[in-house]
Chains A and B, each alone.
Chain A
Amino acid sequence: MSQIVLKAVDICKYFHRKHGTLFRKETVVKAVERVNIEVRQGQVVAIIGESGCGKTTLGCTLARIYSPTSGEIWFDGEEISKSQKSDLKRIRRKIQMVFQDPGSSLNPRHKIESIISLPLRIHLDLSKREMKERVMELFDIVDLPRDMMVRYPSALSGGEKQRAGIARALALNPKIVILDEPTSALDVSVQAKVLRLLRELQQNLQLTYILITHNLSLAKNLADEVSVMYLGRVVEMAETEAIFRNPLHPYTKALLSAIPVITQKEKQILPAEVTLDGDIPSPENPPKTCPFLSRCQERRMVCEKSPCPDLVEVEESHYVRCLI
């Protein structure tokens, strides 16, 4: 068992919004509610969920772009949830994030070389020549043609832009890369190339990934471990094999059966059809009971009366948050 690189304990992230002009009513958006994540060296951990489940917020909090409202984050033996300025700067070298939309994560007014070398310029003290060499090295690693260095993002295709984003994330040799929907904005044939690149990079550079996505097929192919989130909480957590072979939580089952699969073979792997009623609730003022109650097809009387259930280990390393 390799060592734990990142451990998040009971992480909560709330946003406070004030409404109205005269009588300022305050609502609390509980984007992330008491989430626990453990990531080991060389692993790929996937966080799955639909919009509003808090996965992006969780990713940003783990990357310390946001500060957690409460809870602890242990990175490399150090507690970083409250770190400030210079500590944070040091930590950020090791935790990097790749964003979803390659079009908007690159400054349209900067040349690619400048974009990728930014982390180097901020954190390291390299000579111009060394900087350029490192950038070229990064270009090679992500398979970008070197003549792209002097161009602007608008001249690049979606896949190339995403590669540039990945190169930027790798510039400082981070330990963990958090990938937020790295391929959702790309065409299918391009997605496959970027995914292959990610997989190669992971193996060659011994990287650890936290993959945030709504695409379960992607998770199945890339991840070792999966956490399913709904309304800010983790509702099921297990090794990839286990989740697909034996999904326990009703939401996971619904999610799986909703995947529009392509081939007959895949159809046979899916669980029974479940269609959910209603819409995804908003994380503003969430209910005190099980978060999935309103749409659950398998709900019982006890679910409506009890408070939110805890995460319970049902099988070996397979956790579910459900009363059933």
Chain B
Amino acid sequence: MLARSNFLRGCIRFSYNRPAVVGFVLLVFMLIVAVFAPLIAPYPEDAGLVVRFSDKLTPPNPKYLLGTDGLGRDVLSRIMFGIRISLSLAGIVLIISVPIGVLLGICAAYFRGGIEQIIMRITDVFSAIPPIVFALVISAVLKPSLQHSILAIAFVWWRGFCRLAYGEALSIKQEDYITVSRSIGASHFHLMFKEILPNMLSPIIVKATLDAGYAILIGTAISFLGVGASPPTPELGVMVAHARHYLPSCWWSSLFPGLSIFVIVLSFNLFGDGLRDFFGVEIR
């Protein structure tokens, strides 16, 4: 008999994983930064079209905590808004790609036969498209912008979830309780979404968390290459690209944005790893 709820036991298991806890704390911190950026950034206007040539390229000092970039803008404030953008990117990509991928995966596994072949072969095709290359193509066709790069990533991102959902649904389908429900006369909808889906949530959530970091990384890479967000948007990749020219003397304007990217991705990874422990043996 369980004295505690499963959720609580999961939390305790999670807490045994020190790096995961660190990741969690960092993520929470960054979430707060992202949400409240306009309020807590020292120079919120620096996220936009502000130029202060007088203060350009100052090293970290009490006035500008992380220094200023080539146009005199406060690096710290821009990073805060950059985190905001990156987390939003992850959110949007996931919101679009996860439901589509999971839905297609479940359908393929449940109905099998022709539907399965069609869906999985399309997934194969999409698996051959690297997100960065696709973003380049999109930006060649449409104007390069942050929104377009987000769409480009979301356009190919669902394939991983489709495959994951497909594998999970296939194995869950074999379980006795599905056979029982089917023999009682449950509808397809009920079986797919009320019986099978709840049992595959854990791997999907873990993958989504780990993917968030990776998607952000790709987003910054796209912007770094110049086909994503464009100045003056304070996107972390743009900031790194822009600051390249001032290396190595003015190291702060590229190091700190780069470090932020590193920290974001790392936190998602650590947290996702801890989520595996949280879910415990439920992950196949």
Contact = CB atoms under 8 A, between A and B. Distances in A.
Interface of A: 63-65, 88-89, 92, 96-97, 99, 101, 104-110, 118-119, 122-123, 152, 154-155, 168
Interface in B179-211: 179-187, 190, 195, 198-199
Given A154-B2, A154-B6, A155-B2, A107 B183 contact: no
Contacts of B186: 118, 122
Residue from the set A65, A88, A105 with the largest chain B CB neighbour count within 10 Å: A105
A123 B6 contact: no
A109 to B, nearest CB: 4
A118 B181 contact: yes
A65 B183 CA distance: 6
A97 B6 contact: no
A212 B177 CA distance: 19
In the A-B complex, the 6 residue pairs with the closest CB atoms: A109-B198, A104-B176, A105-B176, A107-B177, A65-B183, A89-B185
Given A65-B182, A92-B183, A99-B179, 7 more contacts: A109-B198, A110-B195, A118-B184, A119-B185, A122-B184, A154-B2, A155-B2
B177 A106 contact: yes
Nearest to B172: A107
Interface of B: 1-2, 6, 175-187, 190, 195, 198-199
A65 B179 contact: yes
A119 B199 contact: no
Contacts of A92: 183-185
13 contacts: A65-B182, A92-B184, A105-B176, A107-B178, A107-B195, A107-B198, A107-B199, A109-B199, A119-B184, A123-B185, A152-B6, A155-B2, A168-B184
A122 B185 CA distance: 7
B199 A108 contact: yes
A101 B177 CA distance: 10
Contacts of B6: 152, 154
A86 to B, nearest CB: 10
A154 B175 CA distance: 16
A155 B179 contact: no
Contacts of B182: 65
A200 to B, nearest CB: 23
Given A104-B175, A107-B195, A122-B186, A97 B1 contact: no
Contacts of A110: 195, 198
A58 to B, nearest CB: 15
B174 to A, nearest CB: 10
Contacts of B185: 88-89, 92, 119, 122-123
A108 B198 CA distance: 9
A312 B246 CA distance: 98
Nearest to B187: A122
Contacts of B184: 92, 96, 118-119, 122, 168
Nearest to B190: A122
Contact of B1 (A105, A106, A109, A155): A155
Contacts of A155: 1-2
B199 to A, nearest CB: 6
